[in-house]
Every structure is written in structure tokens, then in C-alpha cells.
Amino acid sequence: MTIKISPSLMCMNLMEIKQQLAVLNTRADFLHVDIMDGHYVKNITLSPFFIEQIRPHTPLMIDVHLMVEEPTDFIAAVAKAGADYICPHAETINKDAFRVINQIRTLNKKVGIVLNPATPVSFIHHYIHLLDKITVMTVDPGYAGQPFIAEMVEKIAELKALKQQNGYKYLIEIDGSCNQKTYSTLLDAGAEVLIVGTSGLFNLDDNLETAWDSMSQNIKQAVRVLRESA
């Protein structure tokens, strides 16, 4: 079972950003950057400028989650800043989804789509084959530390089945409450990329190396449980 880990940088200690990036650079698979506009969600977090600042200091893929009402206002800027994946919410591109996907592709970036808890997989049916990654929100978007929405397990399993049946190449990513309590459930359903934030990584210990080791042990234990129950 191959599991990719994507730490959410909005949850890191920004006073120690260089030291924490140095730890993540040797351990993580992606770096997850949330950009919120204060309108699509009632919060404001990171920015294209933040991406530009960290890009020279990490070799990792930077995965940008656009929690914004108008993704086309941000796509060129985050691409120029150094993003590798650009991932708007499905609802925000419904009127021009193919144009937005083509814009991201033209910039030589990978295309992701984010599904809110109440948004069904059928919403992206006509362009699912064009996607490099699909992110399932297992909490409502906007804030860290929210409780897990168990109804999303069925959605993850649906994406796994569609991928297997049709030979789709997208990664199945989970955003929201990825931690010791949910790892087994998420991996069993078909999760391939786990976005870890406060509960999954950064709050496990003040020392990020120690926190990462704890997280790794929690994931290994979840995998063992799944193998023993198979």
C-alpha cells in the first residue's frame, strides 16, 4: 500500500518555517498550500507570495488548494509563484470547467479538483478523466480542526471504484481530520494521499521530527490493522 503524505502548511509554525521546511523536505511527498479569499470561505490564509517565498527552499511538489470564488483570478499567479498542482473547488468552475482545466494545463501544471462534503462525484462526471488529482473534503472547508464527516467514506470508495473500472489516473486525496482515529477507515476506502494538519501532525509534538515519527507510527499501525483484517 503506497501512501503519500501532504502536510498542510497553514497548520505549521510559521515562526519556524525554514526549520520546519527542512524537516518536511526529507519526509513529505507534497506540500499543501491553502489559499482562501475570505468570500468562498470566511477565512484568509496563505497566498501566491507565500508560495514564491518557499519555492526556492523545497524540492517537493507544491499542491495549491484554491478556496476562492474566482479561481481564474489566482491560477496564473500561483503558477508563476511555483505551484505544481492547482486545485479549485468543483462548484467554482462549473460554468467554465473545461476552460479552467485547459488554462492550468497550458501553464504546464497538474489539474486537481476539490469536492466539498455535500458535492457528489457526479458533479465532475464529464471531466473526471482529465484530472490528475481529486480531493475529497472530509470536513466543511475553511478551518482547521473540524470533526470528521463519516459520510465521505462512501465517496472515497466511489472514486476508487471509478478509477479501477475506467483506468483513470487521478490520485485520491483526503483533506480534513486525517489522523490516528481515521487513517484505517480512509485507507480502507481508497485514500492515496493524506493531507495532515493539526490533529494528524503538527499538534503531536512541538518538535516536528518527533511529531512526524509519531504520525508515521500511527499510519503504520493503521496499515497493520487493515492487513490483519483482510
DSSP 8-state symbol, 145: S
The C-alpha angle with vertex 143 and arms to 96 and 208, in degrees rounded to 5, equals: 115
Q: Is 140 a catalytic residue?
A: no
> Catalytic: which of 63, 140, 175, 206?
175
Architecture of domain 4-229: Alpha-Beta Barrel (3.20)
Torsion from C-alpha of 216, 220, 225, 230, nearest 10 degrees: 130
Out of 34, 37, 84, 132, the active site residue is 34
Q: Return the C-alpha cell found at 113.
A: 479538483
pLDDT in tens, 98-130: 999 999 999 999 999 999 999 999 999 999 999
- The answer to whether 65 is annotated as binding is yes
Asked if residue 145 belongs to a known ligand binding site, the reply is yes
Known catalytic residue: 34? yes
Q: Report CA dihedral (199, 203, 205, 207) to the nearest 10 degrees.
A: 120
pLDDT (tens digit per residue) in 178-208? 999 999 999 999 999 999 999 999 999 999 9
Share above pLDDT 90 across residues of the chain, in percent, rounded to a whole number: 89
Q: Which grid cell is 101?
A: 482545466
214 is in an annotated binding site: no
Give the C-alpha separation, 115 to 135, whole Å.
Answer: 6
Q: Which of 136, 134, 184, 153 shows the shortest CA–CA distance to 3? A: 184
* DSSP class of 55: G
Looking at residue 144, its pLDDT comes to 67
The reply, when asked if residue 167 is annotated as ligand binding, is no
Question: What phi, psi does 47 have (nearest 5°)?
Answer: -150, 170
**Calpha distance 129→194 (Å, rounded):** 22
How many Å apart are CA 199 and CA 217, to the nearest integer? 14
34 is in an annotated binding site: yes
Q: Where are the domains of the chain?
A: 4-229
pTM of the predicted model, to two decimals? 0.95
Do the annotations mark residue 89 as ligand-binding?
no
* Structure confidence at residue 42 as a pLDDT band (50, 70, 90): confident
